[in-house]
Amino acid sequence: MEQFDVLVVGSGGAGQRAALEVGRRKGLTVALITKIFPTRSATAMAQGGVNACLNNVAAEDTIETHTFDTVKGSDYLGDQDAIEFFCSRCPEGVLEMDHMGAPFSRTEQNKIAQRNFGGQSYPRTCYSADKTGHVILHTTYEQCLKEGVHFLQEWYLLDLVKDANGHVGGAVVWNMKEGKVEQIKAKAIILSTGGAGRIFWTRTTNPFLSTGDGMAAAFRAGNGLKDMEMIQFHPTGLGRTGILMSEAVRGEGGYLLNSEGERFMKNYAPNKMELASRDVVAKAIEDEIAAGRGFGSGLNAYVVADLRHLGPEVIIEKLHGIRDLAMCFEHCDPLVQPVPIRPTCHYTMGGIDVVDYKTCACELPGLFSSGEASCISIHGANRLGGNSLADGVVFGKVSGAGAADYAETHEQPNVDAELAAAAKAWEEKFTEVTTREGGRPVVEIRDALADAMWNKVGIFRNEDGITEALKEIEQLIEDYKTCYVGDPERTYNMAFVNYCEIGSMLTVAKAIAMGALHRRESRGAHIREDHPKRNDERYLKHSLIKLGANGEYELTERDVVFTKYEPQERKY
């Protein structure tokens, strides 16, 4: 059995920043478990930038303006106290990364460069060309090594364990290399396991590891999931693959054109044009395609992003990686031709319910969460570009400090018996599922889930479609209980890991669909064709889904926190 003061699950920007914060506390031990190599997380794929009011480009920008832009971007579903807290700490977070050695792009005055991003009043998105997440992740990783963070890579979270008083105090984990269940005891556990975009399988910008594992584990342990219906669809996924074409493309001045050669955003957001918020741009693209002004047809329909007018200097120096992706996956060079794009699943704005944004503590004592896995309610119904990396930088640190404070004031929990029982149950499950004959192939369940979610709980939703999707998910959950996995080997048994991930996706998908069915309005990224208007009187509330005593999903509501800004119509 392993034992630490703090256990961090997930090696993205938030998880590593959390582990680093604990590692800097003298006398505390901290381990970080990750199912991949630590620098291969989704954070490394974040291209565009990280928001902070530094005034390096726009002297008139303020933290209050960043706060309002975020509240407005959230379609007023964000908690304004948490958003104020977040925006006020973004400058410190970015400057800390700069001082650690993150190689940000620079202005001629050698200040951190900032660019325009969608839904924002001023250029406040700090960047490192088009690989900002990559440099942040490598910077935190080397600092974690410096501070003695203990990395346990290729370890996959199976379940959380609670003591007799309901305090989270341990985890059972699958050691992929050794092919066995490991037991870890900790005073505090931080879940920073990222989003769940792979529920939509290939139509997502997310890596294959984004399967909602932390959300599902927290849910099974009894913590709520909040605002799960709020799934962001990024406007500019590459047409064939859904791979991200960063918002930096539009931030640097790229155009979106329909099949008639028209910059159609003038009809949807005449002021901000291509730099309206992501939900507005994504809906506009789908509306253009539905109106017959796209290229191609069906699931292969698209519009184009035109960068040619930017010139070689901007494209090669600031958008080099994006050009490489377009050439590799779309076989077109943005220097000489427009790039096919269409909305693709990008970000899970809902997540593990965090009840204290100042510590990132969850409802369950001893449990903390940060990054995309969490729902601190700063993104609401729509996240602004650049606020995700900022979320990881700010709340990664906050969750690390909160967990460290908790560990310093609590004893190691008495969970030895609970850990042993959970480990035994998972060992038996491994043998049972990997030697089982017959049953529906687990990958077939995965594909059927993706079809149901994309076609019925995707960008456009309605009562009939969501209801059908829920029925299909329920059937898939039943099929999963007797599914075929087919590999009894223990060492690097990725079929078993895949089985576990699909279980997580089924758990999370049901919560997404339930939230989408309940919210009979259109708000931000949640677009109901049968309820096209926002309904503040009835639905200006968070949705909260918890696991009932008999295994049923229970949905309740929670009030949104307002401090300064009353809801108004969003215009861009």
* 251 and 386 both lie in a single domain: no
Q: Count of CB atoms within 10 A of residue 298's CB? A: 6
* Contacts (Cβ under 8 Å, ≥6 apart) of 572: 119, 269, 271, 272, 275, 276, 277, 280
DSSP string, 245-261: --THHHHTT-EEE-TTS
- What residue type is 529 in one-letter code? E
Q: Choosing from 89, 250, 278, 534, which is the catalytic residue? A: 278
- Note if 278 is an active site residue: yes
DSSP string, 404-444: HHHHHTSPPP--HHHHHHHHHHHHHHHHHHHS--SS-BHHH
**Segment (H or E) for 323:** helix 320-325
**Cα–Cα distance, 362 to 406 (Å, whole number):** 12
**Cα–Cα distance, 298 to 278 (Å, whole number):** 22
Cross-strand pairs, 62? none
Nearest alpha-carbon partner for 29 in 136, 139, 138, 151: 151
* 181 and 197 both lie in a single domain: yes
Buried b (16+ CB within 10 A) or exposed e, 272-281: bbbbbbbbbb
Residue 504 lies in a domain: yes
The one-digit pLDDT tens for each residue of the chain (572 residues) are 999 999 999 999 999 999 999 999 999 999 999 999 999 999 999 988 999 999 999 999 999 999 999 999 999 999 999 999 999 999 999 999 999 999 999 999 999 999 999 999 999 999 999 999 999 999 999 999 999 999 999 999 999 999 999 999 999 999 999 999 999 999 999 999 999 999 998 889 999 999 999 999 999 999 999 999 999 999 999 998 889 998 999 999 999 999 999 999 999 999 999 999 999 999 999 999 999 999 998 878 999 999 999 999 999 999 999 999 999 999 999 999 999 999 999 999 999 999 999 999 999 999 999 999 999 999 999 999 999 999 999 999 999 999 999 999 999 999 999 999 999 999 999 999 999 999 999 999 999 999 999 999 999 999 999 999 999 999 999 999 999 999 999 999 999 999 999 999 999 999 999 999 999 999 999 999 999 999 999 999 999 999 999 999 999 999 999 999 999 999 99
Residue 18 lies in a domain: yes
* 361 and 444 both lie in a single domain: no
* 410 and 299 both lie in a single domain: no
Domain count, the chain: 3
**316 conformational bin, left if phi > 0, alpha if psi -120 to 50, beta if neither:** alpha
User: Which structural domain range is residue 58 located in?
Assistant: 2-230+349-416
* 356 and 467 both lie in a single domain: no
Residue 498 lies in a domain: yes
What is the CA angle 87-458-203, rounded to 5?
Answer: 85
Q: What CATH number does residue 456 fall under?
A: 1.20.58.100
Q: What CATH number does residue 334 fall under?
A: 3.90.700.10
* 125 and 258 both lie in a single domain: no
Q: What CATH number does residue 180 fall under?
A: 3.50.50.60
DSSP strand pairing (339-348 vs 303-306): antiparallel
Residue at which a domain ends, from 293, 323, 344: 344
* 428 and 472 both lie in a single domain: yes
33, burial (CB in 10 Å: exposed 0-12, middle 13-18, buried 19+): buried
Strand segments (E) across 60-162: 114-115, 125-126, 150-153, 155-162
**Cα–Cα distance, 297 to 192 (Å, whole number):** 39
* Contacts (Cβ under 8 Å, ≥6 apart) of 71: 78, 80, 83, 380, 565
Residue at which a domain ends, from 282, 311, 344: 344
* Contacts (Cβ under 8 Å, ≥6 apart) of 125: 48, 49, 50, 51, 114, 115, 116, 117, 251, 385, 386
Buried b (16+ CB within 10 A) or exposed e, 547-570: beeeeebebeebebeeeeeeeeeb
Cβ proximity of 121 and 61 under 8 Å: yes
The phi, psi pair for 523, rounded to 5°, reads: -150, 120
Residue 465 lies in a domain: yes
CA distances for 536 relative to 81, 230, 375, 382, 542, angstroms: 19, 16, 20, 16, 12
* 69 and 91 both lie in a single domain: yes
Residue at which a domain ends, from 344, 369, 392: 344
CA distances for 278 relative to 228, 282, 345, 374, angstroms: 18, 6, 11, 20
DSSP string, 129-144: TT-HHHHHHHHHHHHH
Residue 373 lies in a domain: yes
* 395 and 426 both lie in a single domain: no
Q: Count of CB atoms within 10 A of residue 530's CB? A: 12
* 246 and 225 both lie in a single domain: no
Q: Count of CB atoms within 10 A of residue 154's CB? A: 16
Q: pTM to 2 decimals?
A: 0.95
* 410 and 474 both lie in a single domain: no
* Contacts (Cβ under 8 Å, ≥6 apart) of 46: 13, 132, 133, 134, 136, 388, 389
Which residue's structure tokens are 């990054």? 371
Cβ proximity of 370 and 403 under 8 Å: no
Q: Count of CB atoms within 10 A of residue 538's CB? A: 10
Residue 70 lies in a domain: yes
* Token pair in block for residue 74: 């959230």
Nearest alpha-carbon partner for 255 in 275, 232, 280: 275
Q: Count of CB atoms within 10 A of residue 271's CB? A: 9
* 47 and 191 both lie in a single domain: yes
